Amino acid sequence: MGFADPSCGVRVSGPRSVWAGPLDVSGLAVAGVREAACAAASLAHRRGASPGFTVDSRAVAAALASLDRLRVDGRALQAWAGLSGFFPTGDGWVRLHANYPHHRRALLSALSVGAEDDETAAGLVRRALADMTAVEAEDQVRAAGGVAAAVRTAESWRQHPQGSAVLGEPLVAIETTGVPGAALGRTGELPLSGLRVLDLTRVIAGPVATRTLGALGAEVLRIDPPHRPELLEQHLDTGFAKRSALADLRRPGQRERVEELVSAADVVITGYRPAALAGFGLGAEQLLQRHPGLVVGELAAWGFTGPWSRERGFDSIVQAASGIAHRYRKRDGRPGALPVQALDHSAGYLLAAAVMRLLARRPETGGGVVRVSLARVARELLGMAAPEPGAEEPEPWPLRTCECPHGELAYVPPPFLLDGEQLDYSSPPSRYGQDDLVWRSAR
Q: Is the pLDDT of residue 432 over 90?
A: yes
- Tell me the C-alpha distance between 171 and 231, whole Å: 29
**The predicted structure's pLDDT at residue 82:** 84
Q: Which long-range contacts (CB under 8 A, 24 or more apart) does 404-407 make?
A: 404/236, 404/428, 404/429, 404/430, 405/429, 405/430, 405/431, 406/72, 406/232, 406/236, 406/431, 406/432, 407/72, 407/73
Q: What is the pLDDT of residues 71-108, one digit of tens each?
A: 999 999 887 888 999 999 999 999 999 888 899 999 99
- Residue 278 neighbours by CB distance under 10 Å: 14
**The predicted structure's pLDDT at residue 443:** 64
As separate numbers, helices (DSSP H) first and strands (DSSP E) second, the chain gives 16, 18
Residue 80 or 167, more confident: 167
**The predicted structure's pLDDT at residue 1:** 42
Q: What is the pLDDT of residues 230-271, one digit of tens each?
A: 888 999 999 999 999 999 999 999 999 999 999 999 999 998
Mean pLDDT of the chain: 92
In the predicted model, what is the mean pLDDT of residues 413-418? 95
In the predicted model, what is the mean pLDDT of residues 23-31? 96
- Tell me the C-alpha distance between 94 and 320, whole Å: 8
**The predicted structure's pLDDT at residue 62:** 95
Exposed / middle / buried, residue 255 (Cβ in 10 Å: 0-12, 13-18, 19+): middle
In the predicted model, what is the mean pLDDT of residues 117-127? 90
For 268, phi then psi, to 5°, come to -125, 125
**The predicted structure's pLDDT at residue 306:** 95
Q: What angle do CA 236, 242, 245 make, to 5 degrees?
A: 85
Q: What is the pTM of this model?
A: 0.95
Span 11-77+167-304+339-398+410-422 CATH architecture: 3-Layer(aba) Sandwich (3.40)
Strand order in the sheet with 295-300: 173-176, 368-373, 295-300, 267-270, 196-200, 219-224, 243-246
Delimit the domains of the chain by residue range.
Answer: 11-77+167-304+339-398+410-422
Q: What is the pLDDT of residues 135-161, one digit of tens each?
A: 999 999 999 999 999 999 999 999 999
- Tell me the C-alpha distance between 396 and 164, whole Å: 39
Residue 322 or 5, more confident: 322
Backbone Cα Rg of the chain:
21
- Would you place residue 3 in the very low, low, confident or very high pLDDT band (cuts 50, 70, 90)? very low
**405 preceded by a cis bond (ω within 30 of 0):** no
**The predicted structure's pLDDT at residue 2:** 40
Q: What angle do CA 110, 114, 115 make, to 5 degrees?
A: 100
Residue 440 makes CB contacts below 8 A (sequence gap 6+) with 219, 243
End-to-end CA distance of the chain: 37
**The predicted structure's pLDDT at residue 392:** 64
